[in-house]
Structure 1
Amino acid sequence: MDNSKFVVLLIAGFCVPSTSLQNAFFFISEAMTWDDAFLYCVSHYIDLAQILSLDNVTTMMATPTNGYTGEAWIGLYNDFSEWTWLNGQPLTYYNWRDSKQGKLNGNELCVAIGNRGLWEANTCSLLKYPICYDGLDYQIGPKKMSWNKSKAYCNSQNSTLAYVPNEAEDLRIHHLMPDESVGWIGLYQAEVWVWSKPGGNFSFQNWRIGQPDNRDVDSCVAAQVSDGTWFDEGCTEKQLPFFCSGDAANKNRKITVKMKVKSSADLEDPAVSAELVQQMQTAFAEQGLDVKLIWRTQPVKTQEQQQEKGNHKKRLRMYKHTHKLNL
C-alpha cells in the first residue's frame, strides 16, 4: 500500500528580523572570516550590521540567534590613515631607512630608530629599547620591550616615547644608541575605525573594557551577543557568526512548499505530522533560520478529478489560442 500524502508546508519568517523595518538585523549562524561575512551580507542583504546607537545595540540583542550568545561580526573595521606622533604633532621631518619604510602598512604600525639614526617601520609587538624624552633629555630604557610597553615604561618615568621633530634631535638620539641597537620612538600609524557601509557615524562606541587590544594585525569588530559590547579580532584569523543589516519587508516572507511525503507511519496521525514538523524546524534552526512551519495535508485527487483538471487545461489553452487569433 502506498502510504503517501501531498503536504502543503507554509514557511513563515526566514531569518526573522528585529522589529525595525528600516534597520533590521539578521543573524547568520555560519562561521566565516570578516571578509567572507561582508561579501555574504552584501550579496544577500545590504551590508554587515552597523551599530550606531544604544537602540541599535538593543535591536541586535533582540534579534533571534537560536540561543547563541558568543561573539558575532559587525561591520566595523580599522583603517590606517597617516603617521602620527604620540603628542599629536603631524609628521614634518623623517629619516626613513629606505623609500618603502614610510608607506602605510597595516602590519607595520610603529617606528624605531637604529644606531645610524635611520628610521624603520616595524610590527609593534617586536622587542626594542624604549627611547624616552622628558622635555630636556633622552634616555634609553634598560631592556627591550614592545612598543606599547615602551610607551608605558616611559610614562612611568615621567616622560614619553621620543618625539623627533628635526635632524638635530635625530642626531642626539643617534649618538646615544649603543652599537647595532634599535629603539622605539613615539611615531605610529594612526588607527581609524570605519564602518563597511560608507557614511556610518563612529561617534557611538561600545567597546568592552580593555578593548580594542589587537593592534598588531588588521582588526575587525565582533559584538558579544549577550551584552552587545565590542571586541577587536583578526579579520582573517577568526571565523565567527555575524549580523547582516537589511530591509525586513523584503526578508520576512511566507513561502509555500508542496511535497509528497512517503512513510510507513500513519500520516493522518497528528502526532506523526507534529514530529515531522519538529524535525524540519530543527534542521532549519541548524542553518541559522528561525522559521515557523505549518503542515497542511492535501487530499489525493480521484481519477475523475484529475481528468477534469486535464480537460480544464485543454479548454484554457484553446481559449488563449482563439483569443490570440481574434486580436
Structure 2
Amino acid sequence: MDVIFCVFTVLVTQQSSYFYQQVNAQDAEFSGNGYIVHNESCYFFSNIQSNFRTSNLFCKNHGMHLVSIQSSNEQSFLVEKIMKRGIEDYWIGLSRFSWLDGSPLSYINFPEINKALDDDGRCFRLRAHRNNWHDAPCSLQYKFICEVEYDFSLLCLMGEFRHYVYDQSCYYFSTLIENFKTSKSRCENFGMHLVYIESEDEEQFLISKREDDTDYWIGMASVGWRDGSQINYKNFRDVQSTFDRGGLCFLLRHPDFDWHDMTCDSTHRYICEKVFDGQAHMISTSFKLAADDATLDDEAIISSYSVRSVLRCAKLCMGDKDCAYFTFIAHERACSIGRSLLAADVSHLEPRHGARTYSII
C-alpha cells in the first residue's frame, strides 16, 4: 500500500530518535515501513514492543494516535492484519474507557466486563487471538498500532504525492503495478474510484500528468463506466482490435493514449479519482501553499481553533473577512488564521515542524 497516503509528521527528538530508528529498520519489509491504508485511515503496526506511555508518545511524535476502534469492520480488519504477523497483543488508544484521540466510545469489544478489568482499566490491549480488548498493567511491553485519518483533500490541496486537481476532481497516479481487481480495491480503500474519463480535455490533462510512458487501468469495464454513468466521451483504438480480450477491463494505453481492453489479470499502474464536493473544490482553487514547516506568529494570528482537517481550517479562514493566511498543524489538529501580511515579510512566520501555512490566491 502506498505510504504517501498516510498524512503524518515525523518528529524525531533526542529522546525518541533511537526508538524511531529501531521501528523504521525492523518494519522495513512490511507494507511500506509498516503503514497500511484502510477506509480512509492510515495504520502503523509496530514491530517492537514498548510500554503504553512510550507507545502513545511514539504515535504522537509521528502525527498519529494510538488506534481508536470505531466499528466491528475496523476491529476485523485489525485482527486480520495482526494474525498475519503472529499471535500477539497490541496496545490500543483506550484508557479508562475513553479513546485518547477524543473519539466517542460508540463501539465496544470487551469480554465479560468483570474479566476485562484486571488492572483498573487504565491501559488496554487488543487480543487478536480472542478478538477482544482487555486491560493490562501500563508498564508491560506490547507492540502497538498507531492511526491517522487519511485526508485526501489535503494532498489534493497541496498538489503533492502524485495527487492533482482538475475541474472538480482529484486524481491519484499510482506507482504500484496491480491487476484490475486489486487496482479497483486500492482506489476504493482511498475513498476514490478508478478514473472515469468524460471529455477530451480531461484525458489530455491526465496524459500531461503521467510520470512516464506507461499504461494505466481506467474505470471502464464491459464497455461502460463502473458506476453506470453514461459514456459521453470515448477514445477506443479501433473496432477490430479494441475488444480482442473480451472488453472486460480497459487501459489508457501509450503511446497513443487511446483505450484498449486488456486481460484483467495483467498488471499495470492505475489512476484513481474522487469528485470534490462544492466546498472542497472551491477551497482547492482558492489557496496555495505559502510556507512549509512554518507557522504564523502571534502578531499575525487573528484566532485559533482545534480542527481535524485542513478543509475545516480553510473554511474558517474563508468565513473571516480579515483572513489572508491560515496555518494547519495536522498532528496537533491546530488551526490558526491570520491577517494580511506582506508577501516578502517573513518576520511573521516562525519555524514549526509539521506546520503548513497557506495563502489566499
Question: Normalising by structure 1, what TM-score?
Answer: 0.34
- By relative contact order (CA 8 Å, sep 6+), the higher-ranking structure is 1
TM-score w.r.t. the length of structure 2 is: 0.31
Query: Is the radius of gyration larger for structure 1 or structure 2?
Result: 1
